[in-house]
Chains A and B, each alone.
Chain A
Amino acid sequence: MLRSILEAREVFKSYRRVRALNGLNLRISGGVVGLIGPNGAGKTTAIKIFLGLLRANRGSVKVFGLDPWRNGFEVRRRVGVLHERPVYPGDITGRLFLKYIASFYGVKDVDARVREVLKLVGLEFVAHRPIKEYSAGMVQRLGFAKAIIGNPELVILDEPTANLDPAGRAEILDLIAMLSKDEGVSFLISTHILSELERVCKKVFIIYRGRIIAEGSLKDMVERYRLTEYTVELTEPSKLAEKLEELEHVKVLDVDEARGRLYLSVADPDSFRKTLFKLALELDLKIISFKPRYGILEQVYRRVLSD
């Protein structure tokens, strides 16, 4: 059995009348792990408890075998973090800020490490500017640099790609994958942009109303919650929709005539694929694509929540 990096057992946390965590159970052994859930599900509260910023009302939390509230210093030495909507000292330059953070972690060659990390996140050309002059995307990159500069064993990222453009998102996700693979850094990523997790995550936890309602590897999840909603791109979708409504195990969800799309709920996609192409031939329609309506994870997530 793998040694757990982070373990939460029956964790409860309330803010006055609001119960943020309601018996959270979570165990992370390494790799890139996703924590997904709708707004207000308790993701940020859980992260704050893992870092020793909040104290759980009940339950046990261990990070590297230590209680983060009591042994916060020992835990935070080994953890890098990027908070949601981070606030940094605006008057100092990005480079100086990272130098301070590297010093906090006791990095040996501070200047070399700062240069390396700035290059990794693509901020080397603006590193001389005060942070207050950075765009939201640059601040997010700086936050990511801050999270990894101390060579932590675990990096906790709360909405890591918020405010980033698509290219920036891809760069950060590639970095996460690279650091996990080459340097063995573990990541806990909290996000609601599910397509991101699909690219990098080994395992996902779905949190809802303060508890984990589903967990497993992405492959297991896909098998457990079979994908049922598909999109067909074709010419004249309404024509095909009429025919499909006569079939069992197929439900037409929506027809988008303007974009030439048909949204379906399909019980057995493999056998339906043959039927679909056969019908298209009969009706003389041209099928452009047949693919899942949502990203894999998003569809699993929707299924879990609807259950």
Chain B
Amino acid sequence: MLELRNIKKYYNQGTVNELCLFDNFNLSIPDHQFVSVVGSNGSGKTSMLNLVCGSIAADGGQILVNGKDITGKKEFERHQSIGRVFQDPAKGTCPSMTILENMSIADHKGNCYGLRRGKNKGKAGQYQELLRSLNLGLEDKLEVKAGSLSGGQRQALALLMATMSPIEFLILDEHTAALDPKTAELVMELTGRIVKEKQVTTIMVTHNLRYAVEYGNRLLMMHQGAAVMDCAGEEKARLQAEDIFQAFHEISMGYGN
């Protein structure tokens, strides 16, 4: 259970450009929920993810995980139970290290990074199986540097690596936005499969309204730091892309966008 309570967030505080993004923003996400978040630019989607992950600090309010306050925890501490995939495929892997080395680091997440050998021959077969499930032909490229892969391959690998270790939350920050339509489709299918398999609580920010409707069991539409639409379960299942497109259009029009 993830809870955001009375979150306040200001940008450029104390200047003429002061902008209040969140004013008493509340959100709670029960375990195993897959939330898709849509909204126009500047609506607070990515800020919300950054607040959860600790990349930016809140100016007020609390963030709780299973009832425990994590507001004061550092970014890296929070990531011990969070897997995150960024919009930029380059952020999820280390370019000058091989796929095997990358996966070894990801597999070891949550444990102590000590002086044991990083490369575990016994695990290579297991990694190959995981890579085979991507259907991108990466299983034979364990010794290839991650930097030489294409954006789609890197993003798929990043997604795989983010979910290799046991995590409580998966944070997807427009993770298909930089990919071509076909690869984006593939990465989304993979996302759906992994989330279903691992039963991990997921927050996915996307600009693709169709993905938001097709995937997940809750939909959140953000506008100016508030959730203007929030439907889950049955209601979400009945939702059509046209409905939210209409809603999206209305909020954008209403504010002169």
Q: Do A and B come from one complex?
A: no
